[in-house]
Every structure is written in C-alpha cells, then in structure tokens.
C-alpha cells in the first residue's frame, strides 16, 4: 500500500471520473497524460465504469483506481478488472476488510471521529474525507488532526482550482480528489482538448504550490 500512497502523494491530485462509455477510456487517459496527471479514479456510478477500469489497467503508464465502491463484492469485481486502489464514499467495514485481506489499497470515506476510530481499528494510514467542503473543509480537517495525528487524508468533494492550494498546504493531506478535470459532459461530448487544458492548468498550479 505504501507504494500506491507514494504515487498518489507525488501526483497531489487524483481525477475523479464518471465515464458512461468505456470506449472513451483510452482517449480520457491520453488527455490526462498529456495534461500531466497519469491517474484517474473511475467511479462505479455508471454502467461503463468497470469496463473503463479494465481498459485503463492495461496501460502501465497510467494509475487507475476504482471509486464509489460500496461492497466487498464490488471490491472483488474492480480488483479483477485491474484497479490498483479502491475508494469509497463511506466506511464499509466489509469492503475495507476484503481489500486489506487481498492487499488492495483502500481509501474509505470518513466524515466523523467515529469513522476515524474505525480507520484506526483497521490500521489505515490514509482515508478519504468526503464530502470535504460540505463537512467543513479545512476547518474540520484541522480539528480531526489534533486527536488523529497518525492518519492522513485525501479530501474530495467541492474542491477546485480556487481552494486546492489551501488543502495541499496541510501536511496531513496526501492529495485531493478532483472532479473538475474530466467532467462527464466533456467526455460524452468528445471535448478531450478541454480536459487536456484543465489538467495542464492544474499541473501548472501544482508546480507553483510546490515551488
């Protein structure tokens, strides 16, 4: 798991993508790669999600994970499809246990101290904070950090270019989930040039932040 965490931490942003047509998966990956972020969390919100993961898993230069994973059965399915990590909106102990038993990195969603207690019970290093902005954003993350200093976070939900730097300024934030990079309508309309532009802008901002 440390290897995947390291890869995600180096990227700083994980594009969160809901893709309807798996035939668009490789064009999506090409656009993200061209823009400078060789990674995507493909959610299971659409019927095409699993097939898209399978297509992208064949590309060694691209880090593909599965999002919106609600059960151990779905975790098994995305593992078979080639997902290299699992993300869920909430904390399902069965999903987390299955992933840990099968050495599949998992980042369950948390939004309360009770969730974080479960994360400690499962010896997790990194969790998803979701929905970040709706749950108080940076103020809440700072409050969580006091009693849970061993846990780091991947905030997702309401994050954009305008507040990305603020989140990444917190040392206990590994990376942020970003839905602004490859919105479903851009993929469906074939506007991959716009995805390249948004990704390149984000990459440029990340360089400024780390300078």
Which residues are designated catalytic? 41, 128
Distance between CA atoms of 206 and 208, rounded to whole angstroms? 5
Neighbours of 27 (CB within 10 A): 14
Tokens of 46: 């659409």
Nearest Cα residue to 3 out of 54, 59, 63, 60: 63
Residues sharing a CB contact under 8 Å with residue 177, sequence separation 6 or more, in sequence order: 13, 14, 16, 41, 87, 128, 130, 154, 155, 156, 157, 159
The three-state secondary structure class of 44 is coil
Nearest Cα residue to 39 out of 75, 74, 7, 71: 7
Residues sharing a CB contact under 8 Å with residue 70, sequence separation 6 or more, in sequence order: 44, 88, 89, 92, 95
């Amino acid at each position: 798991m440390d290897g995947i965490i390291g890869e995600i931490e180096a990227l700083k942003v994980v594009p969160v993508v809901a893709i309807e047509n798996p035939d668009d998966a490789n064009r999506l990956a090409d656009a993200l790669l061209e823009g400078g972020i060789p990674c995507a969390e493909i959610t299971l919100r659409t019927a095409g999600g699993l097939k898209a993961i399978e297509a992208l898993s064949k590309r060694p230069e691209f880090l593909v994970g599965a999002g919106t994973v609600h059960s151990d059965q779905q975790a098994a399915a995305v593992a078979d499809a080639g997902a290299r990590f699992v993300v869920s909106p909430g904390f399902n102990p069965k999903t987390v246990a299955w992933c840990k038993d099968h050495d599949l990195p998992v980042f369950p969603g948390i939004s309360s101290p009770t969730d974080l207690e479960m994360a400690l019970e499962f010896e997790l290093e990194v969790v998803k904070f979701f929905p970040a902005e709706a749950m108080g954003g940076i103020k809440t993350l700072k409050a969580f950090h006091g009693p849970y200093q061993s846990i780091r976070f991947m905030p997702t939900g309401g994050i954009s270019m305008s507040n990305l730097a603020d989140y990444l300024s917190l040392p206990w934030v590994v990376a942020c989930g970003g839905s602004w990079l490859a919105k479903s309508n851009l993929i469906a309309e074939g506007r991959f040039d716009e995805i390249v532009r948004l990704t390149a802008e984000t990459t440029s901002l990340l360089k400024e932040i780390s300078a």
